[in-house]
Amino acid sequence: MSLFFTRARRKPLPSHLDIVHGEATFRVAVKRMAKARRFTLRISAATRVVTLTMPLRSDFDLAADFAQRHGAWIAARLTKFDDDVPITPGSEIPFRGVHHKIIHREQIRGTVWIEQAQDLSSALVVAGSYDHAARRIRDFLKKEARIALDQAVERYTKILGIPARRIALKDTKSRWGSCSADGRLNFSWRLILAPPEILDYLAAHEVAHLKELNHSSRFWSIVASLYPDYEKAEAWLKRHGMALHRYR
């Protein structure tokens, strides 16, 4: 007589769960990670996606209970995203850490420039057709970010003696910069909205990765040699970085 044994198939992990708080229901994406050591909740400032990360072998019901207990936190964080600011005439946006009122002057030819009023307030002036104003402002911000990052990267690569293969600007959702194994650097153009020292720090951070492609103590030693106040810059990003995604 032959005996056959079959293993019971595990039910696939749900890709999401719905968290109810008050009269609202929030969809939460579920993600298992081998390196995770605890339950965490994150909300993307760019996409508004709520993600629950859980250890690979943890109990799903416990993870769901964790998310449900943080329903008020999810609601509060998502509410903060409701005050998005359009990058259009009439809005006020930060440029190099200083708030600028966007002013449209249709009757003047040109693109975009900075003006300072008698009361020392700053304005970002966009000329030409209103229909093209938003695009011209975004192009201006990206151009300024490119110039500033090119200069900062060149300065730090000369110190280390290691060139960057390429520098690209993106609207990254989860990180301000990155460095590939072949020496390509990527940065968020939104860094031009932050104070100059924050952009400068991110350039130093990614250039340091050209020499040490990790976050070891050796890497942070290189960062400290390039940008001694890196801890202050990191603290600013944690406190204010998410707000830079408000401007759309």
The per-residue pLDDT of the chain, averaged, comes to 89
Q: Can you tell me the distance from the alpha carbon of 137 to that of 99, in angstroms, rounded to the nearest whole number?
A: 14
**This model's pTM is above 0.75:** no
Copy the structure tokens of residue 111.
């693109």
Helix count (H) and strand count (E) of the chain? Answer: 6, 11
27 or 46: which leads in pLDDT? 27
Please report, for residues 14, 31, 63, 157, the alpha-carbon distance to residue 53 in angstroms, rounded to integers and kept in the order given: 13, 5, 9, 36
For 149-187, how does the pLDDT look when each residue is reduced to its tens digit (9 = 90+)? 999 999 999 999 999 999 999 998 778 999 999 999 999
Mean per-residue pLDDT for 96-116? Answer: 90
**Residue 182 · residue 165 · CB < 8 Å:** yes
The region that residue 193 occupies, defined by phi over 0 for left and psi between -120 and 50 for alpha, beta otherwise, is alpha
Phi, psi of 114 (to 5 degrees): -105, 135
The secondary structure of 112-161 as a DSSP string is EEEEE-TTS-EEEEEES-GGGHHHHHHHHHHHHHHHHHHHHHHHHHHHHT
Is the model's pLDDT at 10 over the cut of 70? no
Give residue 1's pLDDT. 44
Give the mean pLDDT of 71-78: 86
Please report where in the chains the tokens 């998310």 appear, as a residue.
67
Given pLDDT bands bounded at 50, 70 and 90, which one contains residue 75?
Answer: confident
Higher pLDDT, 191 or 47: 191
**Domains plus CATH for the chain?**
16-83 (no CATH), 132-246 (3.30.2010.10)
Q: Which residues pair with 103 in a beta bridge?
A: 125
What's the confidence (pLDDT) of residue 7?
Answer: 52
User: Quick one: pLDDT band at residue 17, thresholds 50, 70, 90?
Assistant: confident
- What is the percent of the chain where pLDDT is above 90? 60
